Structure 1
Amino acid sequence: MTFDQILNTRRSVRIYDENAAYDSQIVSKSLERAVLSANSSNMQLWEFYQVSSEEKKKAIVKACMHQSAARTASELVIFVTRQDKWKQRAAWNLANMKKQFEGKELKGKGKRALSYYEKLMPLFYTNDFLGIATLIRFSIVVYHSIINKPIIHLVSHADQRVSLHKSCALAAQTFMLSMKSEGYDTCPMEGFDEKMIKKSLNLPSKAEICMVMACGIGKPEGIYTERTRVDNSEVIFKV
């Protein structure tokens, strides 16, 4: 399919054909494509869980309140944010940067790249019990605002969460488009009990569920209505 065909035929399908031929490898391939998605600072603070076992699927279906999309899906994919892994990812990026600059004279761009993961990422992601790191970030933002110098307003834990979920959602969109290109349907779901899903997947308390994705061959009745969008003039602006 062309890209336009993929976009125009991708729908959130809520009822799947449980007897249709289904290739689980397509989901695996689409998750490998999702890994290539754009994400904030290449930190890749995400995890994707392909739920294939009946036992796990039943637990996730229950957590999704037995929605038809979850209940009839051939497989479910859980998109998870992992803010708690920022130190590992920053160190991984730093090691890769050092390899790229190995044997070369470090100049402005190279020094900034290393400093980005050595100093800036800890400044962005550190959260301590007393809130000192948050206060430091807040003070820096206030100072830059006073002198009218642009700065990323990433101060609180909530700001960090938003950043992570945006990156994870980009991966989920890549996954959905990949699945459609292979002839499969999906349905992203936000209606679920996060605590139940985390318990089922043995996830730590700091992990968060971005969305649950139903996968399979959709039935015609799984598309409830015709697609409607507000007029482009209300959402697209040229300035």
Structure 2
Amino acid sequence: MNFDQILKARRSVRVYDENAGFDSQIVTKSLERSVLSANSSNMQLWEFYQISSEEKKKKIVRACMHQSAARTASELVVFVTRHDKWKKRAAWNLANMEKQFVGKEITSKDKRALNYYKKLMPLFYTNDFLGIATLIRFLIVSYHTIIGKPIIHLITHADQRVSLHKTCALAAQTFMLSMKSENYDTCPMEGFDERIIKRILNLPASAEVCMVIACGIGKSEGIYGPRTRVPNDEVIFKV
């Protein structure tokens, strides 16, 4: 299928053929493609859990309140945000960047790139018990706002969470399109008990479940109706 065909063929399928053959390697392959998704500052603050064991799957199905998409799926994939890994990811990016500069003269542009991970990422992602980091970000943003200079309004932990879930959702979309290109169906689900899923996957308190995606060979009754979208002129604007 070409890209338009993949987009048009992808639907949220809520009932799967439990007796159909299923290649688990296609899920793995699609997750490897998801890693290539665009993400904020290349921080890659995500994790993808391929639920292939029946024991784990039954537990996740229960956490998804036994909805048909989860119950009949051949496999489930859990997309998770990991704010707590920002220091590790920033250091990894910095180390990779420093390797690129070995043996060459460091320019002012290079220094800005290095400082992006040395200084800017800590400014964006640091949180502390007393809220001092949040106050510093607030003051910086307020000052830029007063003088009329554009700045990213990433101040609170809630702002950070929004950024991470945007990134994780991009990876999830890549995954679903990849699965459809391999003639498998998917269904992204937000109806789940996050606390239960985090216990099943042994995730820390700071991790958050972005979505759970059901995978398999869809049945015709798994598509509940024709796809409908509001008119393009209500959502697409040229300015």
The answer, yes or no, to whether TM exceeds 0.5 is yes
Q: 2:50 is matched with which residue?
A: 50
Matched, 1:118 2:118: yes
One-letter amino acid of the structure 2 residue matched with residue 129 of structure 1: F
Q: 2:142 is matched with which residue?
A: 142
- CA-based RMSD of the aligned residues comes to 0.3
Q: 2:102 is matched with which residue?
A: 102
One-letter amino acid of the structure 1 residue matched with residue 194 of structure 2: E
Residue segments in structure 1 that go unaligned for 5+ positions in a row: none
One-letter amino acid of the structure 1 residue matched with residue 148 of structure 2: N
One-letter amino acid of the structure 1 residue matched with residue 140 of structure 2: I
Give 3-state SS (helix, strand or coil) of 1:227's partner.
coil
For 1:102 and 1:159, the matched residues in 2 are separated by 36
Give 3-state SS (helix, strand or coil) of 1:224's partner.
coil
Using the size of structure 2 for normalisation, the TM-score is 1.00
Matched, 1:9 2:9: yes
Q: 1:226 is matched with which residue?
A: 226
Give 3-state SS (helix, strand or coil) of 2:78's partner.
strand
1:13-51 Cα shifts (integer Å, max 9, x gaps): 000000001100000000000000000000000000000
Give 3-state SS (helix, strand or coil) of 2:212's partner.
strand
1:77-121 Cα shifts (integer Å, max 9, x gaps): 000000000000000000000001111111122111100000000
Q: 1:67 is matched with which residue?
A: 67
One-letter amino acid of the structure 1 residue matched with residue 117 of structure 2: Y
Give 3-state SS (helix, strand or coil) of 1:37's partner.
coil
Cα distance, 1:12 vs structure 2? 0.1
Matched, 1:20 2:14: no
Q: 2:181 is matched with which residue?
A: 181
Give 3-state SS (helix, strand or coil) of 2:178's partner.
helix
Q: 1:198 is matched with which residue?
A: 198
Residue segments in structure 2 that go unaligned for 5+ positions in a row: none
1:128-174 Cα shifts (integer Å, max 9, x gaps): 00000000000000000011000000000000000000000000000
Give 3-state SS (helix, strand or coil) of 2:27's partner.
helix
One-letter amino acid of the structure 1 residue matched with residue 213 of structure 2: M
For 1:100 and 1:67, the matched residues in 2 are separated by 49
Q: 1:40 is matched with which residue?
A: 40
Using the size of structure 1 for normalisation, the TM-score is 1.00
Matched, 1:86 2:86: yes
For 2:225 and 2:64, the matched residues in 1 are separated by 22
For 2:119 and 2:165, the matched residues in 1 are separated by 23
Give 3-state SS (helix, strand or coil) of 1:175's partner.
helix
1:198-232 Cα shifts (integer Å, max 9, x gaps): 00000000000000000000000000010000000
For 1:33 and 1:108, the matched residues in 2 are separated by 34
Give 3-state SS (helix, strand or coil) of 2:225's partner.
coil
Give 3-state SS (helix, strand or coil) of 2:173's partner.
helix
Q: 1:217 is matched with which residue?
A: 217
Q: 2:151 is matched with which residue?
A: 151
Cα distance, 1:59 vs structure 2? 0.5
Q: Which segments of structure 1 move beyond 4 Å, counting only runs of 4 or more?
A: none
For 1:46 and 1:125, the matched residues in 2 are separated by 15
For 2:106 and 2:13, the matched residues in 1 are separated by 52
Give 3-state SS (helix, strand or coil) of 1:229's partner.
coil
